Structure 1
C-alpha cells in the first residue's frame, strides 16, 4: 500500500485498516510457524504497511487530526 493512499484515508478508516492488517499478520505468522506459508515476503510487506499506517496516525494525532 502506497503512503499517498494511506494519507488520503480518514482516521477511522485507518484504524479499521490497522485492525485488518494486524489480523492478517497474525494469520500469516501462524501459517509460517506451521510450515504452510510459501512466501515469507508477505509478512514483511504487511509489517511495512502497519508501520506506514501507524506513522500517519501518529502524525495526525500530533497535528490535531484531519
Structure 2
C-alpha cells in the first residue's frame, strides 16, 4: 500500500446555478490520501453537456 497517493472520484450531485436553476451533474473530486485517509481536496470540477470543464465555485450545492 502506498503512503501518499492521489485519487479521482466522480459522483452525481444536485447543484443550483443562477442561470439554469437546479441541475443534476457529475462532479469529479481530486483528493490527496495519506495511509488511506483523505487529507485534502485538491480540485473539484464538473463537465457540461458540451464537454466543457467548469469549476464548481460558480454553482451552489442543492440540498
TM-score, normalised to structure 1, is 0.26
Specify which structure has the higher proportion of helix. 1
* Richer in strand (by share): 2
Structure having greater relative contact order (Cα 8 Å, sep ≥ 6): 1
